[in-house]
Amino acid sequence: MNCNDLLPIGELARRTGLAVSAIRFYEDKRLIEPIRTSGNQRRFLRSDIRRLSFILIAQRLGLGLTEIERELRKLPQGRTPNAGDWHAISGTIRKRIDAQIAQLEKVREDLDGCIGCGCLSLNKCALFNAGDKWGESGSGPRVLR
């Protein structure tokens, strides 16, 4: 840690639990933008730890890196984000959490009420109709929503 409080990538990795390669990858995807030393090495701000934590949480909630980037772009450019900035941006996240909890509670309910009961009247069964719109189009992994 030098007098300017700039962290090299290894330090940041140690502090967030991420791999160095992952952080570089995130830079590539414009989720984080470190400055460079004269020798072309990355130097991160302390507040980037928070940025990465935000990414980790958002990912856990099922947001893709592209979406996360879109969210992070709402943070102020040029200055270090403060409490208010973070509060504003985490609104999306908070909504997502609430929605997911609600959904899980519904699934649990359905699980007890339907698979548990052995009903075969498929038209009536919540579980069998719950999954109806899960299939999107195109290639690639289908998981996460």
Partner DNA sequence: GCTTGACCTCAAGTTAGCTTGAGATTGCAC
Partner DNA sequence: GTGCAATCTCAAGCTAACTTGAGGTCAAGC
CB 51 within 8 A of CB 37: no
Residue identified by tokens 């330090």 is: 11
Between CA 9 and CA 141 the distance in angstroms is: 30
Between CA 84 and CA 53 the distance in angstroms is: 17
With binding defined as CB under 8 A, does residue 1 bind a second copy? no
Instruction: Between 21 and 80, name the residue whose CB sits nearer to DNA.
Output: 21
Residues 54-73 that bind a second copy (CB under 8 A): 54, 56-57, 59-61
Give, in degrees to the nearest 5, the angle at Cα 98 between 101 and 65: 95
With binding defined as CB under 7 A, does residue 39 bind DNA? yes
User: Residues touching a second copy: how many (CB under 8 A)?
Assistant: 52
Residue identified by tokens 């984080």 is: 32
Point out which residues bind a second copy (CB under 8 A).
15-19, 22, 46, 49-50, 53-54, 56-57, 59-61, 82-84, 86-87, 90, 93-94, 97-98, 100-101, 104-105, 107-108, 111-112, 115-118, 120, 122, 127-128, 131-135, 141-145
